[in-house]
C-alpha cells in the first residue's frame, strides 16, 4: 500500500458514509458505519467494510439494501471525487464490534467470578455499560483526562468536516487548497 492509496481509501470511506447518511433513504439501512475501505492499487476494485448495529437478520437486510445501492453510490462518487477511476465497490461485513463485545463479556464474567458461557449471545450486539469496581493500585480519576478526550474528538470532527468540504465540488486534486496572489498588469511582479 502506498500513501496515495491510503488517502484514496480514507476519502472513499468518508464520501460513502456521507452518501449513505444523506442520499439513501432505504428504511432497511439503519445504523450503518463504513469502517474501512481497501482499494486495489490499480483502482479497479475496493472492499468496503461495513458495521451494522442490530440482530443478524437486521444486519443481513441492511447489507442487502446497501448492495443494491452500490451502483448509485459509485455513480455519485464519480460526480464528487476526481480520481483516475472509481472502483467497483464490494461490501464486506465488519464483525470487530461483535468480537469486542464478546471480549468485554468474557472480561466481565471473569471479574465477577462466574463461568463464561460457551457461546456468544447473538441477540445483544452492543455491550451494556456497567460500573467498574475499584481495584487496588488504580490511579485516581483526574478531570483533565476527560477534558483532553473531549477536545480531541471535537478537533477530529472539525478537521474531517473541512476535508470533506474541500474535496466536495472542488474538481481539483485532493491536496490542500492553494492561494495565489493576484497578477498585476504591466508592472513589476
Residue 68 Cα to chain centre, angstroms: 20
Residue 144 Cα to chain centre, angstroms: 28
Catalogue all structural domains in the chain, each as residue range(s) with its CATH number. Answer: 3-94 (3.30.300.20), 96-130 (no CATH)
- Please list the ranges in the chain whose pLDDT falls under 70: 1, 119-133, 135, 140-189
Q: Does an H or E element contain 173, and which?
A: none
pLDDT at 131: 61
Retrieve residue 157's grid coordinates: 470532527
pLDDT at 125: 53
Q: What is the 3-state secondary structure (H, E, C) of 80-107?
A: HCCCCCCCEEEEEECCHHHHHHHHHHHH
Residues 6 or more apart whose Cβ sits within 8 Å of residue 135: none
Residues 6 or more apart whose Cβ sits within 8 Å of residue 90: 45, 46, 47, 48
Strand order of the β-sheet with 32-39 is 32-39, 45-52, 88-93
Percent of the chain with pLDDT over 90: 26
pLDDT at 19: 92
The model carries a pTM of 0.55
Residues 6 or more apart whose Cβ sits within 8 Å of residue 100: 127
Kindly list the distances between the CA atom of residue 131 and the CA atoms of 107, 108, 112, 148, 181, in Å, as whole numbers in the listed order: 13, 10, 12, 22, 58
Residues 6 or more apart whose Cβ sits within 8 Å of residue 70: 89, 91
CA dist 183 and 174 (Å) reads 25
According to DSSP, residue 186 is labeled S
Q: Does an H or E element contain 120, and which?
A: none
**pLDDT digit string (tens) for 51-92?**
988 888 888 999 999 999 999 999 999 999 888 888 999 999
Amino acid at each position: 500500500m502506498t500513501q496515495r492509496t491510503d488517502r484514496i481509501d480514507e476519502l472513499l470511506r468518508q464520501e460513502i458514509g456521507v452518501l449513505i447518511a444523506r442520499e439513501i433513504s432505504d428504511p432497511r439501512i439503519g445504523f450503518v458505519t463504513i469502517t474501512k475501505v481497501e482499494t486495489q492499487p490499480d483502482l479497479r476494485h475496493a472492499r468496503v467494510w461495513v458495521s451494522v448495529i442490530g440482530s443478524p437478520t437486521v444486519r443481513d437486510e441492511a447489507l442487502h439494501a446497501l448492495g443494491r445501492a452500490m451502483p448509485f453510490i459509485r455513480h455519485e462518487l464519480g460526480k464528487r471525487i476526481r480520481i483516475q477511476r472509481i472502483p467497483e465497490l464490494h461490501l464486506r461485513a465488519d464483525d470487530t464490534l461483535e468480537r469486542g463485545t464478546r471480549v468485554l463479556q468474557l472480561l466481565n464474567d471473569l471479574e465477577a467470578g462466574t463461568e463464561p458461557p460457551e457461546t456468544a449471545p447473538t441477540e445483544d450486539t452492543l455491550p451494556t455499560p456497567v460500573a467498574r469496581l475499584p481495584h487496588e493500585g488504580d490511579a485516581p480519576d483526574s478531570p483533565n483526562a476527560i477534558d483532553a478526550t473531549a477536545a480531541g474528538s471535537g478537533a477530529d470532527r472539525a478537521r474531517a468536516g473541512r476535508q470533506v468540504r474541500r474535496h466536495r465540488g472542488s474538481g481539483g486534486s485532493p491536496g490542500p487548497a492553494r492561494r495565489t496572489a493576484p497578477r498585476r498588469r504591466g508592472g513589476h511582479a
